[in-house]
């Protein structure tokens, strides 16, 4: 994809750090139009929004981070997540997200396990082949599979999507 529509290999220092963490098995790409939201990322990459892995960070009552990796087509069921975590949850602010994950909102990457975090993976992602996830910045993503997501994050697969 190098150079196509401005897409380029990682150049931002944070995206380069994620690339080093991931190694040669993955390629971090930067999209000038941005990948901050699932809709933006899907449009930039050219895939269905369901294939985008949203990284949602919550704050547990004991101040541990709870991370939910959710299909871009889904909303997380906060009550179900709270039950799985065994503690009340609140939305994490930007300061908490950066301090606990090392990433800013819009760039939280599943490239590594977050120390002390309770981590959950949306079971709906298992049915999809190719997935795309944040790579440290609001313009960087990388391609992975559901198995890769499990291996990288150590997350527990659960039905965490909000159902109507």
pLDDT in tens, 137-156: 888 999 999 999 999 999 99
pLDDT of the residue at 1: 46
CA angle 129, 135, 137 (to 5 degrees): 140
Phi, psi of 125 (to 5 degrees): -70, -20
Q: Who's near 80: CB < 8 A, 6+ residues apart?
A: 158, 159, 160, 162
Give me the mean pLDDT over the 3-19 stretch: 83
pLDDT tier, 32 (very low <50, low <70, confident <90, very high otherwise): confident
Q: Out of 6-10, 27-31, 94-98, which region has the weakest mean confidence (pLDDT)?
A: 6-10
Cβ neighbourhood burial of 120 (10 Å; 0-12, 13-18, 19+): buried
2 vs 58, which has greater pLDDT?
58
Cβ neighbourhood burial of 129 (10 Å; 0-12, 13-18, 19+): exposed
DSSP 45-105: HTS-GGGEEEEEEEEETTS-EEEEEEETT--B-HHHHHHHHTS-EEEPPHHHHHHHHSS-T
Give me the mean pLDDT over the 55-69 stretch: 95
Q: How far apart are CA 100 and CA 81, in angstroms?
A: 18
Q: Which of 144, 164, 158 is nearest to 75 (CA)?
A: 164
pLDDT of the residue at 44: 87
pLDDT score of 33 more than 50: yes
Give me the mean pLDDT over the 44-62 stretch: 94
Please give the model's pTM, rounded to 2 decimal places.
0.93
């Amino acid at each position: 994809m190098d150079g196509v529509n401005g897409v380029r290999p990682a150049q931002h220092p944070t995206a380069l750090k994620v690339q080093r963490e991931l190694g040669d098995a993955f390629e971090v790409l930067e999209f000038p139009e941005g990948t901050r939201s699932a809709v933006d990322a899907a449009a930039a990459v050219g895939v269905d929004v369901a294939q985008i892995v949203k990284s949602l960070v919550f704050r547990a009552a004991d101040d541990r981070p709870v991370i939910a990796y959710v299909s871009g087509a889904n909303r997380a069921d906060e009550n179900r997540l709270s039950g799985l975590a065994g503690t009340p949850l609140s939305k994490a602010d930007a300061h908490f997200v950066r301090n606990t994950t090392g990433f800013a909102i819009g760039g939280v990457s599943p490239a590594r396990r977050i120390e002390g975090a309770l981590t959950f993976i949306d079971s709906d992602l298992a049915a999809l082949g190719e997935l795309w996830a944040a790579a440290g910045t609001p313009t960087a993503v990388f391609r992975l599979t559901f198995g890769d997501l499990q291996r990288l994050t150590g997350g527990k697969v659960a039905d965490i999507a909000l159902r109507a």
